[in-house]
Chains A and B, each alone.
Chain A
Amino acid sequence: MRLPYVPNPPQFENADDQAIVERVQQRRGEAGLLELDLSLLHSPPVADGW
Chain B
Amino acid sequence: MVGELCLYPQHLYNGVPVSISLVHGCSTWSDTFGLHRNSFLGSIRTQTTLSTSIRETAICRVAILNNAWFEWEHHAPILRACPNIKEEHIRHILQAPQPKLHETVSANPAVSSVITKASSLEKWTEACHEADYVDEKHLAVIAYTDAMTLGVRVSDAVFERLKQNFSDREVVEITATIAAYNCVSRFLVALDVGERNAQERPAVHDQYFH
Chain A interface (Cβ < 8 Å from any Cβ of B): 1-3, 23, 26-27, 34-36, 39, 48-50
The count of residues in chain B whose C-beta lies closer than 8 Å to any C-beta of chain A is: 15
Docked Cα-Cα span, A2 to B194, in Å, equals: 10
User: By CB atoms of chain B within 10 A, which of A3, A27, A34, A49 has the most?
Assistant: A49
How many A-B contacts if CB must be within 8 Å?
A: 33
* Contact B191–A2 (Cβ < 8 Å): yes
* Contact B192–A1 (Cβ < 8 Å): yes
Chain B interface (Cβ < 8 Å from any Cβ of A): 2, 35-36, 39-41, 70, 187-188, 190-195
Main DSSP-derived SS at the A contact region = helix
* Contact B39–A1 (Cβ < 8 Å): no
User: By CB atoms of chain A within 10 A, which of B40, B41, B187, B193 has the most?
Assistant: B193
Docked Cα-Cα span, A39 to B195, in Å, equals: 12
* Contact A23–B35 (Cβ < 8 Å): yes
Evaluate whether A26 and B70 lie within 8 angstroms (CB atoms) in the complex, with A35-B193, A39-B193 already known.
Answer: no
* Contact A49–B40 (Cβ < 8 Å): yes
